[in-house]
Structure 1
């Protein structure tokens, strides 16, 4: 994935940079500046999204690296044209790289992967347009004669990049989270149907939830009423997360863990005891809670950190009789 993206961006930038050596000075410098700005912004967004995922645990490093790489590319593109084009390309790339890296930190892997593909396609497309524009004065007759051939070549290149673009990103990160869940115990009482006030003391079910790239990855889809459950919340991200189910009637087993968290992310609201299951975890850590579900049904769990629920940190758990 990394080699593919860097290769496409490098080849596209090299073609645009070489074409600037054939660019003749014109009275209207604004047209050159617009093309330099457009390419610098496309490249900056692409490299920003990419480095934002590569260094997702260090937002400062991702932002600084994206700004300087894209700024340098914009500077080089405008180098042979004019001083104003150099400044336009440098600061356009700087701004686009910063926005791409910061936005990437707010997205899931799949969302960022989609934006990387779009920005890479835009970079390649504008690369063709920039090259034609910079070469138009020196090779005007040649370009006019073979203009449609250049246009078809651009479309074919975009199609090839789209078709061959990798379907996944950061597989190592995803496999790490999935491999961790393999060591958790799964529901082993699906064929057993027992009831009674003491049944919860006889069987313990593990419900493991891994948090990776602002996403819940749960090992359980269904639990049983009156069966003791140990919820293990593992946070692989570099920011804090939590899980809350409300309303949810249960009996807690850990006296030190309360149903209402000591920290509040929203408005302080008085809630009924044991009607809200809430578990918080710090970055790159694990926290556990043992409880017994008392009412069957389908429940939604979510992260109460502001903005995380809106980003898709939501899951469904079913409690059967």
Structure 2
């Protein structure tokens, strides 16, 4: 699964659980606690989704801002509707504002800094949910159901385990989206690195119709290559790697080869949207995990 999908799935599931938890206990919550919860949810979800969309649609701040505002603002609105008008307003406005800020961060932050910043947002988001849950439980009375919940939520092992779980889950993601930076010319530049035996990133997003320079660098200990089956929708404009084709490269394939420490480049342009797989054609490398995808938006 892609980085974007996994992060959005985590945010969606945690949002759904916390919303259900709050709605079930709304009779025990005062307006202030509801407003704080709505504002926190809208703000953190806006920052996370805005940063994601800002990175994916880097260079198109309008699109990333609109998506961040709509998603976070809608979730903030939905969270607050059953609680109160004030909570609804707080959640909606916080989501809209944070979606804008997150999109601007995604646009401005260098591609290699997106991963650590997103990790901080996700960890902070999880910690806030745990703190709000404990606060709501402490004000929710002492019926039998609440006692069971208090027994678990007040156990210090639970929040620590959840935070550690988020850490290891995030580190396991093959951080693989959108590494597109402005080059010195009018071209977009995609940086792809090969190691033994994987690509970084393994998933790339490029805007269709934009001339894009793919820079393929081999940081592994053995030779690697990059082959993209392009059909007729991807036009190859220039390439620096034409003498190592394994006897099967045709006009419809983008192929780059690099020995350890070497770099190869190709300038291409997609005429239509679509998703294409790329892989290393050297025997055994694809089977060892050297595969990825390029999506033209």
TM-score, structure 2 length as denominator?
0.56
**Does residue 189 of structure 2 align to residue 169 of structure 1?**
no
Q: 1:135 to 1:73 in 2, by over 3 A?
A: farther
1:184-210: CA deviation from partner (whole Å, max 9, x where unpaired): 279xxxxxxxxxxxxxxxxxxxxxxxx
Q: Using the TM superposition, give the Cα deviation of residue 152 of structure 1 relative to its aligned residue in structure 2, in angstroms.
A: 2.2
| 1:173 Cα deviation after fit | 3.2
C-alpha separation in 2, matches of 1:57 and 1:15: 34
5 Å matches for 1:1-321?
Answer: 1-25=3-27, 28-136=30-138, 137=140, 139-149=145-155, 151-165=156-170, 166-170=173-177, 171=201, 172-173=203-204, 177-179=214-216, 183-184=239-240, 219=263
Preserved CA contact (<8 Å) 1:47 1:70: yes
Q: Shift in Å at residue 25 of structure 1?
A: 3.6
Contact 1:125/1:158, CA 8 A, preserved across alignment: yes
Distance 1:147-1:107 versus aligned 2 partners, 3 A rule = closer
Q: Determine which structure has more spread, i.e. the larger CA radius of gyration.
A: 1
Deviation at 1:159, TM superposition (A): 1.0
Residue 186 of structure 2 aligns with which residue? none
Return the offset for 1:104: 1.0
Question: Aligned equivalents of 2:17 and 2:131: distance in 1?
Answer: 11
Cα distance in 2, alignment partners of residues 57 and 74 from structure 1: 27
Give the Cα–Cα distance (whole angstroms) in 1 for the partners of residues 217 and 267 of structure 2. Answer: 9
Give 5+ residue unaligned stretches, structure 2. Answer: 178-200, 207-212, 219-224, 226-238, 243-261, 270-297
Q: What displacement does 1:101 show?
A: 0.4
Check 1:174–1:12 CA distance in 2 against 1; reply closer, same or farther (3 A cut): closer
Displacement, 1:26? Answer: 5.5
1:83 Cα deviation (Å)?
A: 1.0
Structure 1: distance between partners of 2:122 and 2:29: 32
Contact 1:9 1:124 in 2 (8 A): no
Q: Do the aligned residues in 2 keep the contact of 1:43 with 1:70 (CA within 8 Å)?
A: yes
Aligned match of 1:258: none
Shift of 1:155: 1.8
* Conserved 8 A contact 2:29-2:136: no
User: When the two structures are superposed, what TM-score results if normalisation uses the length of structure 1?
Assistant: 0.52
Shift, 1:108, TM fit: 1.4
SS in structure 1 at match of 2:215: helix
Point out 4+ residue stretches in structure 1 off by more than 6 angstroms. 232-236
Q: Contact (CA 8 Å) 2:134, 2:154: kept in 1 or not?
A: no
Which structure 1 segments of 5+ residues have no match? 187-217, 221-231, 237-321
- Residues 36 and 88 in structure 1, CA contact (< 8 A), matched pair in contact too: yes
CA RMSD of aligned residues (A): 3.3
What number of residue pairs does the alignment pair up? 193
The separation in 2 between residues aligned to 1:164 and 1:147, in whole angstroms, is 21
